Amino acid sequence: MLRRIIGVALVLQMLCAVALAADPALRDLQAAGLVEPTSLDASLVLDIRYATENNFTGKRVYPSARCFLRADVARRLTAVQAELRGQGLGLKIYDCYRPFSVQEAFWGIMPDERYVGKPERKDGVIVKSSRHNRGAAVDVTLVDAKGKELAMPTGYDDFTEKAHRNSVVATPEARRNSLALERAMQAQGFEPLPTEWWHFDGAGWQGFEPLDLPLPAER
């Protein structure tokens, strides 16, 4: 029995090694310390908008609908999910790590620092970036036990003051849901962005360097 278990483990290691070799983008992200939070908690719902045309650019920007975050940020996110699960709720993820080159493209479309972190390079070195480029920010909303989105002040990527956390034009239900999401995220050290109800920076984001590593293909 022990030999059989060891044999299975070796086969799994070989398959993992083959997968990494076949996708250098995945290998590079993992080497940089990024993980997929869904590998820690499969109940997290993904709706990675930039892997679709359903986003403010109207184009598919990412090659895959996968979420990568710094390991500590991912663990904190799964802690939020565990707490929400006890309330019959959960998280849906819109965006996670974003390559710096994508940030540059977004800035070309929406050059407004209230909504898009201004990307800057100096002598080829990234000197200013979004928290998303560090793998330390996540865009999320709340869903019920069946995966249905709860009402929020606006849709995702609404670049108007209606999406601001201090907006008073949302319905009472939407404001309650937004506040519930904010409190759950803050309990695990996430910092809410004032101008976007969906955006949260992970604790210690300053300690992570910005990256311009490409995202891997679909599994």
Q: Which residues pair with 89 in a beta bridge?
A: 144
Calpha distance 189→66 (Å, rounded): 23
Calpha distance 56→163 (Å, rounded): 14
Closest CA to 98 of 107, 90, 111, 85: 107
Catalytic residue ranges: 196
What are the residue ranges of helices labelled H in the chain?
2-22, 24-31, 71-85, 100-109, 172-186
Question: Cα–Cα distances in Å, from 174 out to 58, 97, 185, 205?
Answer: 26, 27, 17, 28
Contact 55, 48 (CB under 8 A): no
Contact 99, 215 (CB under 8 A): yes
Q: What is the DSSP letter of 118?
A: P
Contact 89, 142 (CB under 8 A): yes
